[in-house]
Amino acid sequence: MEYYQGSLRQFAEELLSQGRGNGQMVVVAPLNEMVIEDAKKKGVELLSSLIVVTQNTIFKYAHHPKEKKGAAVPVSNYDLIEKALRTPLHIYEDPIQNEIIYVFTYPYDESKLVKVVVHPNFKVKRGQFINAAKSWGIVIKEAFDNSQYRMIK
């Protein structure tokens, strides 16, 4: 597996300027210990200790429809995605999904949060699994006060 050497923002800027991918991924953070412990309690063995973003996710969010509503994280603020994964304000589990999914949050401004959704043990190739940061956006803080998520941090 080949990883890009640089930040998420650099990775995104390079991919978007080239207009096509080269099969690389970027490591954005180590997996939080609380997530590892929570998965163990559920009997799930995590196959990696890193959180990774694929080029497909970068292209998906480059011109996402959320952009028009102000709910997309601009590439210029991708450092906030890394901060959400490295030093999250909160980490939640989404118990409604059929698979384990974790949601990391980080302050965006006084009333909003950056929300990053991580899929542990996401299969990218035959026999190759990553903890994939598959989606992100900007949400209103109050949305998490009455959400379906279970807080683990």
Neighbouring residues of 55: CB distance < 8 A, sequence distance ≥ 6: 15, 21, 22, 23, 24, 25
What's the whole-model pTM score?
0.91
Q: What is the pLDDT, as a whole number, of residue 146?
A: 63
pLDDT tens digits along 20-53:
888 889 999 999 999 999 999 999 999 999 999 9
82 pLDDT higher than 90: yes
pLDDT tens digits along 90-113:
999 988 877 899 999 999 999 999
Which residue stretches of 1-151 are H helix? 8-18, 33-41, 55-62, 79-86, 142-145
Q: What is the pLDDT, as a whole number, of residue 147?
A: 72
